Every structure is written in C-alpha cells, then in structure tokens.
Amino acid sequence: MSISFIDGQLRYFKAGVVSNEYNRIERVVLGAVKRLCGGQRRKLTFGQIYRELVRSQPSVPVIGVCVTTVDTLVREGLLNSVKTLEPDRSFPYTQHLISGLTEIGAASLMDAGAGVTR
C-alpha cells in the first residue's frame, strides 16, 4: 500500500466524509496508549501500540492509517513523543517513541467517553 493511498484515506476521513471513523481511530489509539502506559512513563513503539489495537479491537485499520494517526496525534499535542525514529526504507512512515498521553490527550479521551474500556 502506498503512502499516497494512506494520505488520501486520511484526507478522506478528515474531510468529514467518514469523520466518525477517523475519530474512532483516534480514540482507540489514545485508549491503547493509556492502557499500555498504565499511568507510568514508558517508551512505546508503534508496533507495541498496533499489537494492542489488534488484541483489543474487533477491527483495526491498515497499519499505514494507524501509524499516520499516531503521527497526527503527536503533532496535535495529544501524545508525547520522546523521539522520532530515523526513516526506514522497509517502513516508510514517520515513527515516534511514545511516552504517554499529554494532559490534553487524556482530557480528550475522557471527553469522548472512551475511558479505558476494552
């Protein structure tokens, strides 16, 4: 799957055509990070976050959509990124080491009513 396809999918979601689905993806990513961190600062890779999504959700979007969502949540100030990893030709997406939710991310998760349910 190409990056341009993923970018197109995200633009489609953000355009409001399927904004509920995009918001759902954001909520489940935030919830997964909250569960994995358990109130402590940890360094999570995207792989750990994605495995938690696969384990806890009945359906998960393709990896490219999820990893781009993590990057967007970092840029929007909802996730703390300790470090941005170097690009890799075998996985051409921006990857972060995530240390948890920001205060805004935690508040947004609670406002959405997502809590920590599975």
What predicted TM-score, i.e. pTM, was given to this entire model? 0.76
pLDDT of 6-27, one tens digit each?
665 666 555 554 567 778 889 9
Domain count, the chain: 1
CATH at 63: 1.10.10.10
8 domain residue, yes or no: yes
For residues 83 and 110, give the distance between their C-alpha atoms in angstroms, rounded to a whole number.
26
Assign 89 to helix, strand or coil.
coil
Write the pLDDT tens digit of every residue in 90-104: 888 888 999 999 999
Amino acid identity of residue 76, one-letter, is E
Kind plus residue range of the DSSP H or E element containing 80: strand 79-84
